[in-house]
Amino acid sequence: MPVAVPRALLVALVVLGGFLTAPPPASAAPPFVRGGETVPVYDYADAIRESVWVQTPTDADEDGVPDRVAVDLVRPRTAPGVKVPVIMDASPYYACCGRGNEGELKEYDENGVISKEPLFYDNYFVPRGYAFAGVDLSGTNRSTGCEDVGGPAEVAGAKAAIDWLNGRAPGFTADGTPVSARAWSTGKVGMIGKSWDGSIANGVAATGVRGLETTVPIAAISSWYDYMRYNGSLRSSGYPGYLQGVVSDRIAECAAVTASLANDSADETGDYNAFWRARDYRPSAGQVHASVFVVHGVNDLNVTTPQFAEWWQDLAAHHVPRKIWLHKTGHVDPFDLRRAEWVDTLHQWFDFWLQGLPNGVMRAPRATVETAPGTFTSARDWPLPGTRPVSARLGSSVVSYTDESLSEDAAVASPSTEVPGRIALLYGPLTSPLRLSGTPSVRLRVQVDRPTTQLTARLVDYGTATRVDYGRGEGVRTLATESCWGASTPADDACYLDVAERTATADHEVLTRGWLDAAHHRSLRFTTPLQPGRWYTVTVPISASDTTVAAGHTLGLVLTQSDPEFTEAANTGATVKVDLATSRLTLPISGKATLQPAPAGTVVTTAPIAPAERKAQPRLQLPQ
């Protein structure tokens, strides 16, 4: 296992927008701090393992009793008076689906005491003077209440665990005996987790709860609307209820919540309403007082990139201390991508924010971005400093295309060939590399002969190269070897199978995608049916990315309508006219590169596709 190296001391605190970039140092170093970092001095096998049921402010199951969340703790057996901070992973997956690449579940001994926590956090950090808390989200595993899928009850339950660690909420043992954390907890908490777990970390941070010092959201959701809707287009119908049913076995006790998930989520319109506002953490970014370490894959097709990009920008606007890692794989934990670098960086991060150790982690470059398979570079910020929006018109003529429900492969293949159902526009070959860093968009001047249709846009890199193959196994593969990260017991080992990036050589790659239900072109809160024969200006947001199109390659913009692989938008048979001369593609370009003028575009035929030839509706996914 890699040995950490002591870091240089910070000379002074720096204040940015009211936030301290360094916590105040402890008055005296605790026994687990040596050389400016925490070191493993406690016996993991002798750690205290216990379960506490923390009372929440909600009664989601309406049984007249406040809900309680189960908190399974592993903490070092410290000397009296020695207190430790807590690393917390609040998850709905501890009993149903597992965590990590190997799908680990919580396990208990014959007395119901936690014997195995998933992942390496407790194995590695408990010997170093941290406690670990695995929190069952409301309505899951051993918690009461109801699973409301990113909603107020779920967030309130995880927040209550932090309140208990700070003496602000009651906690009880299994037999109902009150229990306090004051004797051993400093009250400082760092929330971490991938996907749904990280999403709740975002939600709890947005409450501004005192004691939450830092969050590490990995491939996390910041707006559940944007997770289940793509600008008015349904990703899959009934998605909230589906997720509740997967992670919770308390459906019978939660009839009201289940009904709300089905009825208030507005599948019939795709609108953003009060139900989704309650599950949107971005408007509350100004209440975030915890530092944030964002990790995301730019090719994550499960939790797409607007989830991190918009949260990141909102945090920046409020001067929240932050750091970001971006990689080229899909829905992947950095532990399964850059294991040694990740554990070392995470160790520094928690030492700084939870232990008050001035190790210089906040003086390092704010952004780390994978620029080629296995190659990571640092930058002062993200999007890259100096990035600017560059617009290019799409052509000079008016073209039309009729919905054909094309697969992605069919939509982007052979861009110079006429393909019914698409418009393919090409920029290049490029005379120099084109670095995109941020969020693109395409503004279209259109006429539609139906009240609505879905508009889909893809940016494609045409040119042969070896790239991360994110379409297979999220871009990683599990190896036969393993490595160990912390101490083990017979019930909970710290060893995990190694993982490597998966690469492939291909003549093109879809860089990023965007969708819009055209009737939502004025607002996501309501629909505005389109009138045939009338011209409209609509903007299709394209998911954020960070990528480089090599010199000699060609950048393609591919426009289609319904997208059966990613959404449930119906094929309406609509014909769309596009005025290329008044339409614009806007790209976030770093450096001095420019786009060559686009050609006139590929005019396509309008023959409708037979229903039997259309692909099946998209499968539901877990934000896991």
* 459: Cα separation from own chain's centroid: 21
Element holding 576 (H helix, E strand) = strand 575-579
Is 46 a residue whose pLDDT tops 70? yes
Which pLDDT band, with edges at 50, 70 and 90, does 5 fall under? very low
**For 29, phi and psi rounded to 5 degrees?**
-70, 130
| Tens of pLDDT, residues 180-223 | 999 999 999 999 999 999 999 999 999 999 999 999 999 999 99
- Average pLDDT value over all residues in the chain: 92
User: Which CATH superfamily, name and number, covers 388-464+508-613?
Assistant: Galactose-binding domain-like (2.60.120.260)
pLDDT digits (tens, 9 = 90+) for 314-330: 999 999 999 999 999 99
Q: What pLDDT, on a 0 to 100 scale, did the predictor assign at position 592?
A: 76
Q: Which superfamily is assigned to 15-379 in CATH?
A: Alpha/Beta hydrolase fold, catalytic domain (3.40.50.1820)
Question: Tokens 């995990």 — which residue?
Answer: 496
Q: What is the pLDDT of residues 152-181, one digit of tens each?
A: 999 999 999 999 999 999 999 999 999 999
d(CA 294, CA 469): 23
Active site residue 391: no
Whether 401 contacts 601, CB under 8 Å: no
Q: What is the 3-state secondary structure (H, E, C) of 20-31?
A: ECCCCCCCCCCC
Model pLDDT, residue 621: 79
Told to judge if 195 belongs to the known catalytic residues of this protein, a careful annotator would answer yes
Tokens standing for residue 113: 């005491």
- Render 516-530 in DSSP notation, one character per residue: EEGGGSS-SSS--PP
Contact 134, 91 (CB under 8 A): yes
CB of 222 closer than 8 Å to CB of 281: yes
Strand runs (DSSP E) across 92-199, as ranges?
A: 107-108, 114-116, 131-136, 171-172, 178-179, 185-194
Q: What are the boundaries of each domain within the chain?
A: 15-379, 388-464+508-613
Please identify which of the residues 289, 327, 331, 521 carries the catalytic annotation: 331
Cα separation, 173 vs 175, whole angstroms? 5
Question: pLDDT at position 613, please?
Answer: 35
pLDDT of residue 607: 30
508-558: per-residue pLDDT in tens?
A: 999 999 999 999 999 999 999 999 999 999 999 999 999 999 999 999 999
Contact 305, 298 (CB under 8 A): yes
Marked catalytic residue, from 138, 185, 195, 583: 195
- pLDDT tier, 596 (very low <50, low <70, confident <90, very high otherwise): low
Question: Is residue 298 within 8 Å of 545, Cβ to Cβ?
Answer: yes
Question: 149 pLDDT exceeds 70?
Answer: yes
Tokens found for residue 59: 């009664």
Please determine, for residue 620, whether its predicted confidence score (pLDDT) is greater than 90. Answer: no
Res. 622 pLDDT band, cuts 50 70 90? confident
Percent of the chain predicted with pLDDT > 70: 91
What was the pLDDT predicted at 610? 32
For residue range 413-463, list pLDDT tens digits in order: 999 899 999 999 999 899 999 999 999 999 999 999 999 999 999 999 999
Catalytic residue among 61, 163, 271, 300: 300
pLDDT for res 618: 56
**pLDDT at res. 412:** 96
Has residue 269 got a pLDDT over 60? Answer: yes
Cα within 13 Å of Cα(313), Cβ side: 10
| pLDDT over 60 at 599, yes or no | no
How far apart are the C-alpha atoms of 165 and 144, rounded to whole Å? 19
Give the pLDDT score at 10: 31
The Cα 200–Cα 136 span in angstroms is 12
Least confident of 121-130, 269-278, 420-429: 420-429
pLDDT at 261: 97
How far apart, in Å, are the Cα atoms of 362 and each of 11, 322, 347, 367, 486?
13, 8, 13, 11, 25
Coil/strand/helix, residue 481: strand
- The reply to whether 300 belongs to the active site is yes
Q: What is the pLDDT of residues 47-80, one digit of tens each?
A: 999 999 999 999 999 999 999 999 999 999 999 9
For 515, phi then psi, to 5°, come to -140, 150
Q: What is the mean pLDDT of residues 276-303?
A: 98
Q: Which amino acid is at 482?
A: E
CA 478 vs. chain centroid, Å, equals 22
- The torsion region of residue 298 among left (phi > 0), alpha (psi -120 to 50) and beta comes to alpha
The pTM of the full predicted model, rounded to 2 decimals, is 0.92
Output the pLDDT for position 470: 96
Which pLDDT band holds residue 614 (cuts at 50, 70, 90)? very low
The mean pLDDT value for 93-114 works out to: 96
Given a contact cutoff of 8 angstroms between Cβ atoms, the answer to whether 368 and 325 are in contact is: yes
